[in-house]
């Protein structure tokens, strides 16, 4: 009896531990989701503010906002493109590592541009702008090069796969059209043709294996949904 009670107690403790683990994981996932939405909202507000500054403020202040907006847009687009494709193409891991190194320069440059937005010495800002403009151009060009290369690689692979698939379909289509055998050297007249048509070289359509269960019609995303029949 004592053994049974110990086993029941252990099972109960195991359920408590498992429940606590599931709860912690769920809370962590919810917190990450909230943090991600908050970060996205913060970035959207910052981007909107930078766009407003680039149009509303004159001179160096407007150019600083334009440089920051250009830098952030390019880096974010490249980051999203690489992270999206690295799961399908592991060779992009090296490109992702290079981008992370480039991101360090991008963060440093963005922080410097942000500090200069509150710099009261406008002459100092104007003196630094050419060098900051050059650095921004170098960083964004590198980010754009990585993003475009990843996109071209994915497009090339998709094109190669489509070419191979088209060739296979052409071969299969040609094979499907040969539903009659070639007449033999001594065969003449319609009787021989009819015999060949029904001969063993031809496989009846009803004997072909189906990839869908009986009575189930396959559906495709490009098909229109059937309209409901009128009851009037």
Alpha-carbon distances, residue 183 vs 112, 174, 177, 187 (angstroms): 83, 18, 16, 6
CA angle 33, 36, 37 (to 5 degrees): 90
- Residue 67 near residue 133, CB atoms below 8 Å: yes
| pLDDT, tens only, 45-75 | 676 777 776 766 777 888 898 999 999 999 9
Mean pLDDT over 78-102 rounds to 87
Q: Which residue has the tokens 């190669």?
A: 160
Contact (Cβ atoms closer than 8 angstroms) between residue 72 and residue 109: no
pLDDT value, residue 3? 74
Of the pLDDT bands very low, low, confident and very high (cuts 50, 70, 90), residue 128 is very high
User: How far, in Å, CA of 69 to CA of 53, rounded?
Assistant: 10
Model pLDDT, residue 111: 93
pTM over 0.75: no
Q: Are 71 and 136 in contact (CB under 8 A)?
A: yes
Euclidean distance between CA atoms 140 and 109, whole angstroms: 11
What pLDDT is stored for residue 181 in this prediction? 54
- Quote the DSSP letter at residue 94: H
Q: How far apart are CA 126 and CA 110, in angstroms?
A: 17
- Contact criterion met (CB below 8 Å) for 142 and 102: yes
pLDDT tens column, 5-23: 768 877 877 877 777 777 7
Residue whose tokens read 């599931």: 22
CA 183 – CA 181 distance, rounded (Å): 6
Q: What SS3 state is found at 228?
A: coil
* Least confident stretch, 131-135, 136-140, 187-191: 187-191
Reduced to 3 states, what is the DSSP secondary structure of residue 91? Answer: helix
| Residue 207 per-residue DSSP state | G
Give CA separation, 50 vs 22, 45, 113, 132, 154, in Å.
42, 9, 12, 17, 33
């Amino acid at each position: 009896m004592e053994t049974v009670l110990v086993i029941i107690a252990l099972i109960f403790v195991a359920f408590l531990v498992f429940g606590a683990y599931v709860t912690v994981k769920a809370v962590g996932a919810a917190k990450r989701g909230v943090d991600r939405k908050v970060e996205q909202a913060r970035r959207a507000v910052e981007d909107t503010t930078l766009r407003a500054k680039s149009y509303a403020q004159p001179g160096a202040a407007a150019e600083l906002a334009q440089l920051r907006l250009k830098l952030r847009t390019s880096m974010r687009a490249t980051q999203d493109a690489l992270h999206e494709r690295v799961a399908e193409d592991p060779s992009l891991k090296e490109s992702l590592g290079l981008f992370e190194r480039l991101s360090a320069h991008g963060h440093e440059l963005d922080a410097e541009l942000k500090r200069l937005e509150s710099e009261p010495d406008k002459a100092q800002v104007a003196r630094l702008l050419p060098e900051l403009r050059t650095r921004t151009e170098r960083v964004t060009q590198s980010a754009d090069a990585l993003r475009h290369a990843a996109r071209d690689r994915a497009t090339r692979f998709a094109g190669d796969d489509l070419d191979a698939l088209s060739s296979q379909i052409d071969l299969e289509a040609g094979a499907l059209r040969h539903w009659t055998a070639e007449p033999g050297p001594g065969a003449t007249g319609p009787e021989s043709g009819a015999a060949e048509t029904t001969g063993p070289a031809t496989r009846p359509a009803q004997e072909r294996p189906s990839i869908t269960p009986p009575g189930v019609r396959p559906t495709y995303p490009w098909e229109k949904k059937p309209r409901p029949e009128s009851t009037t």
